[in-house]
Structure 1
Amino acid sequence: MITRLHLYLVDAAAAVVIGVLVGYAMVEHQEKSWWLVVPGALLVALPVAVRRIWPVPALGVTTLATAAVVVGRVLPLQALGAPMGAVCFALYTVAVDRPRRWSLTGLVAAVVVISAITGAEPENIVVAIAALSAVWAIGYTTRLRRSFLDREMTQRAEQALAGERLRIARELHDVVAHNLSLIAVQAANAAHVRSPEHAYEALTVISETSRAALTEMRGLLGVLRSDADLAPSPGLDGLADLADRASLAGVRVSLDVRGDSPVPEGIGLSVYRIVQEALTNVVKHAAPASCTVLVDVTPSSVRVEVSDDGPGVQELGVGHGLVGMRERVAVYGGTFGAGPGTGGGFRVEAELPHR
């Protein structure tokens, strides 16, 4: 990978080459004194070595130095190629690093100065304008391309942030909906029972459920902090706890997990949330009822089936969390279905491929 230091070394090498060429052109036919050759060559070539640090001053110094050595007859006009290379290097950097107004001003100034020292011959002026304009166009195109890339990276970062926020919002919805449903059911039971033992049992469930909900919410919100310790996401291993909590809310849950094939973490989390949302719906709309949860894990997919024997629903609304479950399945290109069961109750089916 090319580092900033490598680019500086390349510029230094280019400055040395240009300086040698300019100095050689000064002494080849004119036999100028070294006290004129060395400063003149340094003023023309040295700005190339620092053009990435001070692009505008580099362009100004090398352009004026080129004009000075030509007008002062220290450098013959036919040897203008090497100084023109220095001017082009600096102009390219200005076009890349500076706004269009600055770079166009630099282009016009360089064209005026170089055209003035080449004489009144039209072909020399045309060559100078064409060369400098081409260098500016390449530099400005590079600036636009970098701007587009930076904008694209910014948009991708914003999209990733929005996606992460959406994921956290979905997780929070599932956690809050599930646990608050259990708490609401147990609170209603505690308010209606006559036996202190049953009320105590309901309050115990409320306490344990709320504590579990707070723990999971802290874990989810913790991902927004850079110094947070990330706990593993819930997966298939947490299905038994979901079944136990739903049973405490008056839903008799029969859990059957088949297969032992490895499942990606994202698939495991999605299965966990689908089962959680399905059980939440059973607790809210069908309790007391019996519920069967089947999770069939195969080497290529995970199939989830949650069915209950409750009264069922006549209309499917967004409040049943079906949209969230369907989105989770769609992320992995799976299939999802929900509706009244053949023998009554309600049924949720999903299949998530992972290979």
Structure 2
Amino acid sequence: MKRAGWRLRARDAADAVVAVAVALLMRYALVDPPGPSSHWPAWSAWPVAVAVSSPIALRRRRPRAVLAFACATAAAATMAGAAAAGAIWLTFTPTVLVLYLVATTTSIAWSAAGLAACLGTAVTAVLVFYAQVFPGLEPSATPSEIAPAWPIEIGVITVLLAVAWAAGAVVRWKRETTARLVRHLAETAVTDERRRIARELHDVIGHSMSLIAVKATVANHVADTRPQEVRAALAVIEQTSRSTLAEIHRVLDLLRSDGDPQQARLPAPGMEGLPELVAHARSAGVEVDLTVRQEAGLPAAVALSVYRIVQQALTNVVTHAGPTRCSVTVDAGGREAVIEVVDDGPRSGRPPRAGRAVRGGHGLIGMRERARMYGGSFSAGPLPEGGFHVSARLPYDPEGTTA
């Protein structure tokens, strides 16, 4: 806010300096014009110069009203004979500067109408001056090399007004284009963030609810005959629910504004969380063999993507094939992380549950998006001998950016 106020004061000061410079130049032209001298007394040059140039210092307050005032003042001074013969265009210089500002701050239609009105007024004033005032002026003692003539005056004023309007319109177009680009980038960033959060919530909730559903089903079937297994299932459900709520709180923290009270941020899951995922899958009846080969620490974003891909793959195994046997292999070298998840399919020849298509479901889509985010590859599909195979490759550089 302070910076904006400082900029406004700086611009006002600059406009005041320009107004003073134009007033001095105009006063000099009124006293010693290139053509015949005005019949107005010499002392009147000062108030005329100040009145005509003052709109420059006021143009940022109400540009459209000041434009009308500047054009009317210049036209009145010209038709009254106070302007300098041969330098009437100088009288319309404040109008030119105000028109530029109007073109940068108002619509094309409004600024074009202002340009037309100023041109019409200026042409009328020049013609009136040369038809009624100029013939009654005393000839100049030292005639100028270029004799005063209304076509030259009108031509110079027209060029100045047109250039000022065109320059202002271009500046306004560039500002609007930049603003649209900034809005588009902001909207794209918001959309990407929403997708990322939706992907996180899907992975967290999908994995946990699948595990809870399996354990609840087991508990329901053995409630009367094996109470110990019911207690074990409820313990898994309790632990999974607590960890899921903690992760949901972490993801929802991303949606809070800076002014909202926040809980202590939980660390994002990574490679160290893979054994816990495997333990959850085992508690749901899936025999999991985990193999992790890691040469060096992964960047946090890559580690999170590896965790989520393994999480979703195990969720699919629990949901569509469990109980079964599954192998998880994570090979993280210095330049890429390779993930392989292979299950043997349902036991006893039972067909897999519906919904495990190669391209169907948000789970596979989410894993594919995470791989593509790093310029990697992803594949998933049934194996000829039975079972299902998920493979992902995430290339990266040591700094964690896309390879």
Q: Same fold (TM over 0.5)?
A: yes
2:238 to 200, 203, 207: 207
Secondary structure at 2:120 match in 1: helix
Q: CA deviation at 1:4?
A: 4.2
Q: CA deviation at 1:33?
A: 5.7
Give the aligned partner of residue 188 of structure 1: 217
Matched, 1:177 2:206: yes
Q: CA deviation at 1:214?
A: 1.9
Between the aligned partners of 1:215 and 1:126, the Cα distance in structure 2 is 75
Matched, 1:23 2:27: yes
Equivalent pair of 1:303/1:351 in contact (CA under 8 Å): yes
Amino acid of the structure 2 residue aligned with 1:8: D
Q: CA deviation at 1:153?
A: 1.8
Matched, 1:150 2:179: yes
Give the aligned partner of residue 141 of structure 2: none
Equivalent pair of 1:334/1:353 in contact (CA under 8 Å): yes
Give the aligned partner of residue 328 of structure 1: 370
C-alpha change, 1:207 and 1:336, in structure 2 (3 Å) is: same
C-alpha change, 1:237 and 1:48, in structure 2 (3 Å) is: farther
Between the aligned partners of 2:284 and 2:97, the Cα distance in structure 1 is 76
Equivalent pair of 1:292/1:306 in contact (CA under 8 Å): yes
Between the aligned partners of 2:85 and 2:239, the Cα distance in structure 1 is 91
State, as a whole percentage, how many aligned pairs show the same letter.
41
| TM-score, length of structure 1 as denominator length | 0.90
1:285 to 320, 326, 333: 320
Matched, 1:350 2:392: yes
Q: CA deviation at 1:346?
A: 2.0
Amino acid of the structure 2 residue aligned with 1:135: A
CA-to-partner distance for each residue in 1:74-95, whole Å, 9 max, x for gaps?
3313223433322111001111
Give the aligned partner of residue 105 of structure 1: 113
Equivalent pair of 2:337/2:394 in contact (CA under 8 Å): yes
Matched, 1:54 2:30: no
C-alpha change, 1:253 and 1:133, in structure 2 (3 Å) is: same
Amino acid of the structure 1 residue aligned with 2:175: R
Matched, 1:139 2:138: no
Give the aligned partner of residue 291 of structure 2: 256
1:304 to 329, 339, 345: 339
Residue-pair matches, total: 355
CA-to-partner distance for each residue in 1:97-131, whole Å, 9 max, x for gaps?
11233212211221122112222634433443333
Matched, 1:8 2:12: yes
C-alpha change, 1:148 and 1:317, in structure 2 (3 Å) is: closer
C-alpha change, 1:268 and 1:83, in structure 2 (3 Å) is: farther
Between the aligned partners of 2:192 and 2:336, the Cα distance in structure 1 is 24
Give the aligned partner of residue 219 of structure 1: 250
Which moves more between the two structures, 296-305 or 264-273? Answer: 264-273
Q: CA deviation at 1:17?
A: 1.4
Which moves more between the two structures, 268-277 or 2-11? Answer: 2-11
Which moves more between the two structures, 50-59 or 178-187? Answer: 50-59
Q: CA deviation at 1:315?
A: 5.0
Q: Whose Rg is larger?
A: 2
Between the aligned partners of 1:310 and 1:25, the Cα distance in structure 2 is 97
Give the aligned partner of residue 147 of structure 2: none
> Superposition RMSD on alpha carbons, in Å?
2.6
CA-to-partner distance for each residue in 1:217-249, whole Å, 9 max, x for gaps?
222223222034654432222222212222222
Q: CA deviation at 1:317?
A: 5.3
Q: Which runs of 5+ in 2 are unaligned?
A: 131-149, 398-403
Secondary structure at 1:347 match in 2: strand
1:37 to 45, 67, 83: 45
Between the aligned partners of 2:195 and 2:303, the Cα distance in structure 1 is 18
Between the aligned partners of 2:268 and 2:41, the Cα distance in structure 1 is 78
Which moves more between the two structures, 15-24 or 115-124? Answer: 115-124
